Structure formats: C-alpha cells, structure tokens
Structure 1
Amino acid sequence: MPPRSNPSERQRRLGLELRKLRTGAGLSGDQAGALLEADRTRISNIEAGRLDVSRNRLYKLLREYGCPRGSYFDGLMAMAQERGKGWWDEFRDVVAPVGCDLAELESLSAAIRIHEPLFIPGLLQTEDYARSVIGESEDDKRRVDRFVAFRVGRQRVLTAESPVRFRAVIHEAALHVQVGGPKVMRKQLLRLIEVARLPHVTVQVFPFEAGAYSSFSRSFGIFGGMLPELDTVHLEHPLNSVFLRDGGHISEYARMFERLSTLALAEVDPEAAPESHESADSLSLIQHVMYRL
C-alpha cells in the first residue's frame, strides 16, 4: 500500500509518539527499520502517519524502544487498532479532513472538556440550532443537510454504551445570541438542561459578572486519552483549525479550563428542587434566559 498523503490526526499522533520513543531510545531510523526487516523510509512514513503499523509490529517496536507496560503502552496499542472506515467517512464529500479528524478524536476520547464563549458546543446542539448556525455560511440546502447530519452524528459519543465523560463551560453570551430566533433558542436551552441529566455530562455557565477571562481564553476543546500524555487540544478557527499535542500546551489549556470552571456558576443540576437555589447557578440562569425569550 502506498503512503497516504493526508493522514488522520490519530495516525499523526501515533507516529509522533513513536518518533519520541525511538529518539529517546537512541535508535536511528535504520536501526528501527531493521527491527521490522524494513528500511528507514518505512519508519519515516510510519512516524509521519503516512503508513499504518500492525499491532504485532507496534508491540515489537514499543518493547525495543524500552516503553514499559502500562497505560501509555496500552494507549498506543489502542491507537493502532484496525478500525476500518468510521461513520464520519461517509461525509467526506462535504466535511473537511479536519472535521473528520475531530469526529474520530471524539470517538476515541475517554473524556472531553469544551469551552465555548459564543455558541452552544456542537455536541450539545439541537438540529434546528445547528442548521441555523451552518446556514449562516452555507447556501446549498443539500450541503447544509449533510453538515447537520454530521454534527448530529458526532453526538452519539454522549449516548453510546460506554459514553465519554463530557464537561462544558459555556459563556452566558451564548445563551443570548439569537440563533434561529426565540423558538429555536428555547428548544436549545431546554436541550442543555436535558443533556445535563446524563450522569457523565457536566454543564456550567460562565456569567458576564465573572469578568473577561473567558474572552481571553477563546474557544477550545481538550480531548483526553487513556492518560494525560495522550491528550490533544483542538483550537477551532473558521479557516484553519489546529490540533496541539505538546505537553506544555496541553497542561496550559488544562489549567485554563479549571480556572474557567472555578469562575463559572455551579453546574446544571436538573434534579435540584427550586428552593435549593440559594444563590445563582447555571440552571437558574439558563431558565431565566429561556423564560424571557
């Protein structure tokens, strides 16, 4: 099989980790190739994500690189599992590779932390809300339908048999932006409350009164692997979304998220009795905005 020209984020990340382990072990590309009875070009392509490596060969490389058995070892082995095509591949006619990478990353994550300063996070959007957002930049109805179906498909990670742990800090501004009009927004805000009933979902609102910190940190997502060393940060941008894999960057964004969570209102607890809301919390603020629409 010839090397691929556009590897996925998963493939690039596995290759990056293998390169770090090889150089840490003091092995050259030629020496690593000899372990697989291959040349250095094959090792180079594996480390760039352009070629897959079988689980048997990966196991051999990890052992020869001195990687001890444990969560990191198992996490790398899991990244090399032969998955075939994911559900997201059927949307490649309209969704850019980075969007499919994001869907695959979500499906592989053990935990997801999202901060959104202006919109409701995609994994929590209703179809009508998503359609209104996407329709602002896309006129072709068929393409809009496909984009909406893709966004809704991503949400299955929250309802799977083993769902991802999900935390979101949403700025109060996102509750007020009239996406699709009052009717669409009422349904969307109600959806936030309903999804927060799931035991693995936490939703907090960052209020205007908490200051400007949320604006400075902008929109980002932290996707947790089997351990922090395999976490990935995603920065969404209209023209060029970015994945960050460096440990220093990941730690900084993790600190930012915890700061946001500390400054935000208490999480949505739909089961709490109304009289228990002695002070402002996320649920009461969402309900307040919803009732004013």
Structure 2
Amino acid sequence: MVLRREPTARQVRLGVELRRLREAAGLTAREAAALLGTGRVQMSHIESGLTGVSEERLRRLASHYACTDKEFIDALVAMATDRTRGWWEEYRGLLPTQFLDLSELDHHGSFRQEVAILFVPGLLQTEDYARAVFSSRVPELTSEERESRIRHRMARRVVIEGPSPTPYEVVIHEAALRIRVSDRTTSQAQVARILELSEADHITVRVIPFDLDGFARASSTMTYVGGPVPKLDTVVRDAPHGSVFIDTEAQLNAYRTRFHRVQAVSLEPERSRDFIHKLAREL
C-alpha cells in the first residue's frame, strides 16, 4: 500500500487512538499485527496515520483490544472510512498543512468553545482585521501568502455562517476588543460584526471586562472543539510555529475545566452585548 506523504491531523488522530487502545490492552505492535495477519511495520504505519485501515480490520482490532465502547468504535470507523474532500483542499500546496487541518477540524466538530485574550478569534474577524493580523507576521509574508491566508480565513466562516452552523461559544477579553490591530475604522467594523453575530441562536458571545474579578487563574487563549464523542474532542493552541492540537484525556479534562472557569467569571450574553455596545461608542 502506498504510504501517505503528509497525513492529515485527523488521520494521525485515528492512528493515535488505535495505539492507545492497543497499549491499554497490553499488546505490542507485533502482537497486534499478528491479529491482522500483517507485520509490525505495517502496524506502525497504521498507528502513525501513514496508511489507512479498513472498517473490518478496525473492528477486529477493537474486539481483540476488548474495547466495548460502541459509540467510540463507530466514531473511529467513521474517521477511517471518511473520504471527504472539503473546500479547504483547494489550498493544499498554497498554505501550510496546519491551516487545512484546522479547517477539517472545523468541518467535523460538533461544537466549538473559544477564549480570546488579545485578538478577536479568526472565525469572527472581518477581512480588514484579518489583513492587519497577517500583515504583522514575522517573518513578513509575501503578498501572495498573505492573501491566501486571508481568503482561507474568510472561507472558514462557513462553520458558523453556513447552512449547517456549529454551536459556538466564545469568551473575549476586553483587551481583544480594544486593541487596534489597524485603525479606528477597522476596529469599529470588527466590533459591529461581533455584535451582529452574537444575535444568532447558535452563537454565544461573552465578555471579560478589565475590571472583572476572578480571572487570573484562567487567562490563556484556547479553542476547544467537540468530537463525535468526548474522547475525540480536540484543543487547539496557537504557538510561534503554528497551531498545536492537544488530545490526551488528562489535557482535555484540564482544558474543559479551564473553559468553565472562564465562562463562570465572564459576563452573561445579554450583559456582554450591552458592554460591547458601550465599547463601540467609545471607539
């Protein structure tokens, strides 16, 4: 079987979950491979996402691993048999694969929760705001690289503005609303867009004002994307070299707790809209 040159984050995640099941069952890669009538190298390729696995083989492995979580197994089968080629594929070769992986995660997510401290989240950004953000990158992007990133970011908005929008809850610090990434006009248009989107039934916007107590222990940017089952949730963190996907059970539990803490100290949605309206008049 031809190996994938660059497996997607979703393909890698499937392999990781199969490896976790194997290790929980106390089997070596060689022993698991024998169950499929193949070799250890082929098993390594499956668990690293370099090659796929059929539904029959996946269910056989799950049975030998004594995994009885039917919903989880069915979700893994859906990942293994998915042949979706989404809109983001047109950017393959134009953008780093992390951009495509993020779009694929958007597409398959069951819900999305986000905390933003210094910048307005990408899904809420206007084109001018996004252009200002990408124009400030170091090292500097070429005009072609910058415009490709802007078009991709605008296309990503389908996840909350398309025909089947994903439930989205975002907590935004006052700093992100006030910082002028460009000029006054851009900031005013950006705040107006957030207010407009906050009226949608599937979008909840909360604000953390500067003078709100109890925020210090939960003050980090994060994105939490729900999977088909909680075990397949994913946290996305931005790093200097790009987005980092986090998916271990302990880390997921920690970030769930972190989001709930931020949510608990933020303003309620109605008060948040009032706050943003007031802020908009000050810009």
Calculate the TM-score normalised by the size of structure 2: 0.91
Contact 2:95-2:149 at 8 Å conserved across structures: yes
1:258 to 260, 272, 275: 260
The superposition leaves residues 93-147 of structure 1 with CA deviations (integer Å, 9 ceiling, x where unpaired) of: 3422222211111111101111110111001111111111111224532222211
Q: 2:232 maps to what in 1?
A: 230
Farther off after superposition, 173-182 or 137-146 = 137-146
5+ residue gaps, structure 2: none
Shift of 1:230: 1.2
Q: 1:177 maps to what in 2?
A: 179
Q: 1:116 maps to what in 2?
A: 116
Distance 2:144 2:127 in 1: 15
Distance 2:22 2:162 in 1: 36
Shift of 1:149: 0.8
1:167 to 169, 172, 183: 169
Farther off after superposition, 95-104 or 1-10 = 1-10
Contact 1:10-1:105 at 8 Å conserved across structures: yes
Contact 2:218-2:262 at 8 Å conserved across structures: no
5+ residue gaps, structure 1: 270-280
SS in 2 for 1:38: coil
Shift of 1:21: 1.3
Q: 1:161 to 1:240 in 2, by over 3 A?
A: closer
Q: CA RMSD in A?
A: 2.0
Q: 2:106 maps to what in 1?
A: 106
Contact 2:29-2:43 at 8 Å conserved across structures: yes
Contact 1:214-1:260 at 8 Å conserved across structures: no
Q: Alignment identity in percent?
A: 37
Farther off after superposition, 94-103 or 29-38 = 29-38
Q: 1:95 maps to what in 2?
A: 95
The superposition leaves residues 213-251 of structure 1 with CA deviations (integer Å, 9 ceiling, x where unpaired) of: 368632111111122211111110122432211111111
Q: 1:51 to 1:244 in 2, by over 3 A?
A: same
Shift of 1:12: 1.5
Letter of the 2:104 partner, please give it.
E
Superposed, which structure 2 residues align to 1:209-220 within 5 Å? 209-211=211-213, 213=215, 217-220=219-222
Q: 1:126 to 1:75 in 2, by over 3 A?
A: same
The superposition leaves residues 182-204 of structure 1 with CA deviations (integer Å, 9 ceiling, x where unpaired) of: 21112111111111222111110
Distance 1:227 1:84 in 2: 19
The superposition leaves residues 31-70 of structure 1 with CA deviations (integer Å, 9 ceiling, x where unpaired) of: 3223333212111111111111122322332233222253
Shift of 1:212: 7.2
Distance 2:92 2:74 in 1: 30
Letter of the 1:152 partner, please give it.
M
SS in 1 for 2:52: coil
